[in-house]
Structure 1
Amino acid sequence: MIRAFLFILASSIILLSDLPASELKQPLLRDGAWYQRWYLNKVAEQQLNTKDQLQLLCKWTGQNEFFTHDPQGLSEHDQVTVNLQTDSLPPAGSVLYIFTKDWDNLWRQLRFELGQATEWQLTVPLAGPDAALHWGVVGHQRPWHQLAASQLIEFGLKFDVEGTPPESEQTFTVVSITGSSPKPPVCEVRNILPGPDLLPVGEKYELSFQLTHPYSNPFDTREVDLMAEVTRPDGTQTQARVFYHEPFAFDEQRFHADLEPAGTPDFRLRYTPTQAGLHRIAVRGHVGDRTIALPSQTFQATPAPDFRGFLQRSTDDPLLLTWSQKDGEHCPVGVNVRSPYDNRYRDSFPYTAWEDEGLTMYKRLFERYAALGIDTVELWMSPWWLALEWIPDAPGNHGLGYYSPWRAWKLDRIFEWAEEYDIDIILLIHNHGKFSTWCDSDWARSPWNAKNGGPHDSPTRFFYDEETVASTKRMLDYLVARWGYSPRLMSWKLFSEIDLTGKDRQWYKHPHMATWHKTMGAYLKEIDPNKHLVSTHWSTSYQWVNRDVAGLKELDIVLLDAYYQGSGANKLYVTVQKTGEFALDIEKPCVITEFGGNPYGDTMGHIVHQHHLGLWSGYFHKMASIPFFWWFTLLEEHPGLYSRYRGIARFIDNEDRTGAEFHSTVLGQLGYCELRTPGRLLLWIFDRKYYYSGRLDATPEVHDEAQIQLELDSGRYHVEFWDPTSGDILITREVQWDSGAKNSLPLPAFERDIAVKLSPLGQTELRER
């Protein structure tokens, strides 16, 4: 939405001559380079000759924009005055706009009617309430704010005629542009908006306020350091950091809609209560050398029996995950939805009709996922999507130490949709390409690169340079402050594919990598009030994992790929099988967050068949989560694949693999997998010939005489036979087992695969294998 607000300030102009001489600074913006801009087939600029005087030749029938780049001196003044003159009266209806453009190309202007005069002294405010009141905005809804003057890239004059312009020219001379010395700042906390007085446990409490204190970078905790001390109902205390926030407007109904800056920036606190009762919040800290303390706030948290808490490692089984306020295992069902678009997908599947939807894709997918039983996604803070620090190649990107308000707001919105549709998020902080010179490299465009004004000539220095380590901690401060409140955050994922960083394939084995992960993992555990899981990730398969990193106690879970070389769905099954053995060996939860052929895909037959194999083999080889399919768009373009999630989600619902032993083998043409606990036996039997065929048109064989020999104690058992595709129970039986006889379990006729749930009746328990 485009909105323009124009103001006539004739009645409120403050003449510079009325100010004390001690407050004047001259000249300002007068001796630098000035330009004239035209809007023809494309925008063109011409530098003006300002050697003697700054003269602006206006052709009333054309465009008349004159400006200077990078007017940094403006931020040092409370107001600026332009003294302007001409030799003859301007035409009737002529107006002058004094305009600015900031580093996100946001245009603001003030409108002056030139009237019947030949000299003008025009004063405009640059700070305080007057500036926010008088500057009009065009193409956005962000009023002038505290940082506006320091973010300008243009200051200029625009002449126009309202009505029919004459076929004439007129020269205006800029006699001077002067500024007033800044007055001592009025340091206040304004517009405090507390959260609700009453909210359920597990819901977000959000407090916002604005500051008039001077600051240059609100993201730098050395300059703006505000913390909330939260006293919980049981008397214990925790801390949560306050963060800087810029609001935006967004039309969810528009395809590939972009953000529109809207509203005044503020500071916010987010906190999620985990106890019922009275909470007290005290916000204190400093901005520069000034101490700040907000009035104490209170709220009451009401009981919420369905609140699960935050995801954590199981204390009863080293391979599994559980909720902090709910018993039993939680096994996520996930898809890797790293960004709304992926050039590699277009390369691997060139027939695709996929279009980049932008942010709105997440709402559409989350709604669909929730209906299918998909409850987790992976999301990337990559350079092309949500990285908070990057070179100025998109609005909001302004290099190191300045965290993109645009991208942060997008991530806010994704978390809001995640809360609406009960979707959990693995949040990737750094993808490998940011810090690699040899694989998917983004180093040439990196703000850490010295060629772009950054601190390093090599990406490897990111992992051990002391100042960079300190700046990374400040960035983590911001992440935890803004999103650490959320129970929908499954894990902080420090890196993707750490073995692809640095200068070659072996660099990740350097001790610096382990030290960096130990440092950042420990720091996240120190500052995160909700102790979210911390993880990192390796490419290709478990074979590339270096155990000096994977074994760190600061890392809660190990994230992996399950790719293979060449072609064949059978290779995926073997990779998952061995990944389960690897998890058992390192005694840590392992999650496959990427699979789908080799790194560039496979034939469509193998991709489709292994999608199903990946979901089920991951569960039966005791992965902490159902493996995340990489080609999420393929699910959209081959919607039959979606039903596979409904099948696995229904099957595992209310199951608990705590203490379960897993076993897999080959029974002729059939593959056999089992999970066994004293009270439960789960089986999955699949047709290897069909799933390994690589053919979409393969005709599945009917298996109508299959029997499975099982080691069971004598007794009666309840047996359910499930359709893995639909998640429906096909048949229910009760069987009598005699351990002294040669027993086997006959399977009902099936195609492709079948799943079984078997539980003892009465006092019978399942024996160990």
Structure 2
Amino acid sequence: MFAQRRFSAGGASAPRLLRAVGRRAAGLALLGALAGGGPGRAAEPNAEGGWPLELSAWPDAAATSTSLETRVYFPNEAAVFLRTAPSNWAHTAEVAFEVWLPDDAPTNVQVLLHLKDWDHLWYQLLLPGMLRPGERTLCRADLSPTAAGWTPRGHHASWHFRARLDPREVGLRLLCPTPYEGLCRFEQARAARWADESPPFIRNVTVNRRALPCYEKLELTFELPDRYVNPFDPAQVEVTADIEEPHGARVAVAGYYGQQAYREVTPAGERVLPQGRPYWRVRFAPRKPGLHRYTLQARDAWGTAAWGPERFEATPPTKPGYVRVAAADPRHFERSDGSFFFPIGHNIRSPSDARLDTVFPWTYRPPEGATAYLRYFADMAANGENVAEVWNCAWSLGLEWSALRPGYRGIGQYNLLHAWEMDRVLEAAETRGICINFVVHNHGKFSTFSDEEWKDNPYNTANGGYLSAPEEYFDNPRARRDFLQLMRYIIARWGYSTHIFAWELWSELDLTGSRRESGGVSNYRRPEVVEWHRAVGRAIKDMDPYHHLVSTHVCGDYTHQNLQIVTLPEMDLCPVDAYHGNEDALHIVELLKQTAAFNNPLGKPVLVTEFGGTWAGQGLRHLDDSLHAALWASTAIPVAGTPLFWWWKLIEEENFYPKFAAVSRYLAGEDRRDPQLVPADLAVWRAGGPAWDISAVALASPRRALGWIYRPADYRAPRDAVSPQTNLTLRLDNLEPGVFTVECWDTVRGEAVACQTASPTNGLLSVALPPWSFDLAVKIKAQ
């Protein structure tokens, strides 16, 4: 408890020096005049200069002064706050101030300087020695990036340059255990200017391994000068690794700036906090066996630095590599090693979904952090899934947003704690064999009419940005540069991984903009948006040495697709929604057929990345049946993978995971890369003619077929009222002569329940089916 009043500086005694000792960065000014001493050391460039600091009673007090008198009530702390323009702190090497105590004050009063940084992280520095009663003591505190003595509180980050950028508050505290009441005075507070203009360096380089299989991660960690206001901007500092591959080709891989962290998990939730000093890294995955040579290079405004050369050995791969569009059948995917890849999975946009609580409020769902992905991925892997969609959204794993949310600093400054979490998510995906459809932007960030977040967007002029409307993001050259800077960081940090399925630039692009229509044209159909995708798609392919797939996505269903964007050579696949408002859960089958028919002529894979009734959900029975139907229909419709179900929490809560396991077992070993494998008429007959109440979808070639047979009426009836279907015959035409194996699969258990051989007559194969209810899957293969 204390009181303050401003006063004119005075006092006859010369100030005594009390100083926090630490190593000085180049450019540290000593403020010798305040101490009655000489100038700063000549070895420290730009030592001249500085500015006065204002003093205030409270961190946000309107009234400030160069001098402040305070009544102290020890052992309670006495505090005042140092004020200056926020940008000045980036250039501050040292603060100095004088403190006067009365003659009768205790002799064990110490001074503590504290700083609360942009992210509300607390650092404090206890100055050595004691204040001397009856005298003015000059105190100095080192704020240079390498200053010793700064201690974190409530976290474990080390003091570093960016901790002092735009701090929330900087304050002085007097500490004394001895009871005392009296006055003290603070005055002559001043900051010394800091500027490090020495050439850059690269030092303390560590490498995670000297030999590794192809497609696995080589990681170099090292130090650069700690002086960059924006280490994410290559115009301020650019770090690359120049790698020479075994056959002489050279690859330039960008480095990135990061921060170690740790996670606290309590009943109240998760909290991620920084740990240690920031670092620089390069990540690279070799693609060819043999000896690789590399050097590190850094460039900033004060020069260049190089480290190396060094070498590592890449051994033959133990992984199948990156996901590609299949060369022989572009409806599908394959891996770098040529193996077939069929995505089986679901959407996990973020750990939690608040909308689920509105639509399905029957259980309490506490908010979860990114550790939920570890559980999700483990369950997915155990049930044969291999793909999940993950968003970089403002509320989960995003990198760039306004300071309204913790960890963000606005345009071009990235959330390093979220980046650390994304590292953990990707590591879990790699461990469990899950590929991530990496969504860079969700539509709400740049929308004013759908899930709108534009009001909080840092690009919005209302928040200090430079765009007056969200659609300008696609028109503005500066915005395009900022987007590509973001992609540069994303690729540098996570592009090495074979478990990045694709870079999806937008989720539901057609919901961006200020309104659905602008002069009769939706934002996503404007020529500027088409050109944006062409230009950034090409730039991404140029900067991504691993050639990950690139795409953009629309809402609703395939009728929302903009063919001008989808057909761009820079767009590798066609992600789309498959929502519908039909009361019939099996309508998803017809929608998948239409989606494939629309997209297959484009010569690109089509993948439904969101579905599940309407966008707002439907009844649980409806979603249960729709999920089952979508999974099994996708085995016999020319889509590139199973549709990704949106309601990920229901999969866990209702234990829908066995549905994925059953489909995965059915598809094991099936390679659908065959241009002759096309939609076919799979007929089911009863004695005397077609069974009109039974439907089927199938993919067939002259030598094989995959089919799914179902009875729609069974899905509309109470489940306990469904009777088995018997005495049915399967008929498939246009097969080549020979002997065929026909397997019938139980779609719930995911296992073959019958197997027989048969030969077609004049191309027509006819075989009896075992009894079944609801549905049955079949495989037909020539021996």
Normalised by the length of structure 1, the TM-score is 0.91
Contact 1:219 1:478 in 2 (8 A): yes
Question: 74, 77, 83: which one pairs with 1:60?
Answer: 74
The residue number in structure 1 matching 2:351 is 340
Of stretches 541-550 and 382-391 in structure 1, the one that deviates more from structure 2 is 382-391
Residues 85-164 of structure 1 aligned to structure 2 (within 5 Å): 85-91=100-106, 94-112=109-127, 114=130, 117-118=133-134, 119-129=136-146, 131=147, 133-162=148-177
Q: CA deviation at 1:274?
A: 1.2
State the alpha-carbon separation in 2 of the partners of residues 183 and 431 from structure 1.
40
Q: For residues 164-198 of structure 1, give each alpha carbon's deviation from its aligned partner in whole angstroms, at most 9, with x where no partner exists.
A: x63x5332211212233436555432321123111
The residue number in structure 2 matching 1:438 is 449
* Alignment CA distance shift 1:488-1:255 (3 Å): farther
Contact 1:213 1:287 in 2 (8 A): no
Question: 660, 667, 671: which one pairs with 2:695?
Answer: 671
State the alpha-carbon separation in 2 of the partners of residues 243 and 266 from structure 1.
9
Q: CA deviation at 1:476?
A: 1.2
Alignment-mate amino acid for residue 56 of structure 1: T
Gaps of 5+ in 2: 1-17, 24-29, 41-46, 517-521, 684-690
The residue number in structure 2 matching 1:386 is 397
* Alignment CA distance shift 1:125-1:51 (3 Å): closer
The residue number in structure 1 matching 2:673 is 658
Of stretches 214-223 and 424-433 in structure 1, the one that deviates more from structure 2 is 214-223
State the alpha-carbon separation in 2 of the partners of residues 26 and 323 from structure 1.
59
Q: For residues 260-319 of structure 1, give each alpha carbon's deviation from its aligned partner in whole angstroms, at most 9, with x where no partner exists.
A: 110111111000011111111112241223112122221111122x32111011111121
Contact 1:621 1:663 in 2 (8 A): no
Q: CA deviation at 1:341?
A: 1.5
Of stretches 482-491 and 280-289 in structure 1, the one that deviates more from structure 2 is 280-289
* Alignment CA distance shift 1:183-1:345 (3 Å): closer
Contact 1:277 1:300 in 2 (8 A): yes
Question: 164, 171, 190: which one pairs with 2:183?
Answer: 171
Alignment-mate amino acid for residue 369 of structure 2: G
* Alignment CA distance shift 1:440-1:350 (3 Å): same
The residue number in structure 2 matching 1:493 is 504
Contact 1:27 1:176 in 2 (8 A): no
State the alpha-carbon separation in 1 of the partners of residues 133 and 644 from structure 2.
71
Question: 299, 302, 306: which one pairs with 2:312?
Answer: 299
* Alignment CA distance shift 1:51-1:155 (3 Å): closer
* Alignment CA distance shift 1:553-1:371 (3 Å): same
Q: For residues 664-709 of structure 1, give each alpha carbon's deviation from its aligned partner in whole angstroms, at most 9, with x where no partner exists.
A: 678522221111134321121112112245x5x4533211222111
Of stretches 626-635 and 729-738 in structure 1, the one that deviates more from structure 2 is 729-738
Residues 4-43 of structure 1 aligned to structure 2 (within 5 Å): 16=32, 17=35, 20-21=38-39, 23=47, 25=49, 27-30=51-54, 34-36=56-58
The residue number in structure 2 matching 1:685 is 709
Contact 1:497 1:539 in 2 (8 A): yes
The residue number in structure 2 matching 1:41 is none
The residue number in structure 2 matching 1:401 is 412
Q: CA deviation at 1:611?
A: 0.7
State the alpha-carbon separation in 2 of the partners of residues 428 and 467 from structure 1.
22
1:735 is the counterpart of 2:735? no
Question: 581, 588, 601: which one pairs with 1:572?
Answer: 588
State the alpha-carbon separation in 1 of the partners of residues 574 and 627 from structure 2.
21
State the alpha-carbon separation in 2 of the partners of residues 743 and 81 from structure 1.
92
Question: 735, 738, 743: which one pairs with 1:720?
Answer: 743
Contact 2:373 2:425 in 1 (8 A): yes
Question: 600, 604, 614: which one pairs with 1:584?
Answer: 600
State the alpha-carbon separation in 2 of the partners of residues 10 and 533 from structure 1.
54
RMSD between aligned residues = 2.4
Of stretches 699-708 and 317-326 in structure 1, the one that deviates more from structure 2 is 699-708
The residue number in structure 1 matching 2:15 is none
Question: 216, 219, 231: which one pairs with 1:203?
Answer: 216
1:243 is the counterpart of 2:256? yes
Gaps of 5+ in 1: 1-7, 38-44, 762-769
Q: For residues 304-360 of structure 1, give each alpha carbon's deviation from its aligned partner in whole angstroms, at most 9, with x where no partner exists.
A: 2x3211101111112111112133x21111110010111211111121322222111
1:484 is the counterpart of 2:499? no
State the alpha-carbon separation in 1 of the partners of residues 66 and 161 from structure 2.
35
Alignment-mate amino acid for residue 557 of structure 2: S
State the alpha-carbon separation in 1 of the partners of residues 440 and 575 from structure 2.
14
1:217 is the counterpart of 2:234? no
* Alignment CA distance shift 1:511-1:184 (3 Å): closer
State the alpha-carbon separation in 2 of the partners of residues 147 and 538 from structure 1.
39
* Alignment CA distance shift 1:324-1:50 (3 Å): closer
State the alpha-carbon separation in 2 of the partners of residues 354 and 314 from structure 1.
41
The residue number in structure 1 matching 2:724 is 702
State the alpha-carbon separation in 2 of the partners of residues 320 and 21 from structure 1.
72
Q: CA deviation at 1:63?
A: 5.0
Contact 1:335 1:376 in 2 (8 A): yes
Give the % identical residues.
30
The residue number in structure 2 matching 1:5 is none
Residues 501-516 of structure 1 aligned to structure 2 (within 5 Å): 501-505=512-516, 506-516=522-532
State the alpha-carbon separation in 2 of the partners of residues 692 and 589 from structure 1.
32
Q: Secondary structure at the match of 1:626?
A: coil
The residue number in structure 2 matching 1:766 is none
Q: For residues 518-538 of structure 1, give each alpha carbon's deviation from its aligned partner in whole angstroms, at most 9, with x where no partner exists.
A: 111111111100000001101
Contact 1:35 1:68 in 2 (8 A): no
Alignment-mate amino acid for residue 230 of structure 1: I
Q: For residues 55-108 of structure 1, give each alpha carbon's deviation from its aligned partner in whole angstroms, at most 9, with x where no partner exists.
A: 233233545332245654333232222211122443465432111111011111
Q: CA deviation at 1:743?
A: 5.4
The residue number in structure 2 matching 1:767 is none
| Structure 1 residue ranges, 4+ long, deviating more than 6 angstroms after superposition | 8-15, 252-255
Q: For residues 227-253 of structure 1, give each alpha carbon's deviation from its aligned partner in whole angstroms, at most 9, with x where no partner exists.
A: 211111122111110111111122578
Question: 65, 69, 73: which one pairs with 2:88?
Answer: 73
Contact 2:145 2:226 in 1 (8 A): no
Q: CA deviation at 1:592?
A: 0.3
Q: CA deviation at 1:541?
A: 0.2
* Alignment CA distance shift 1:674-1:135 (3 Å): same
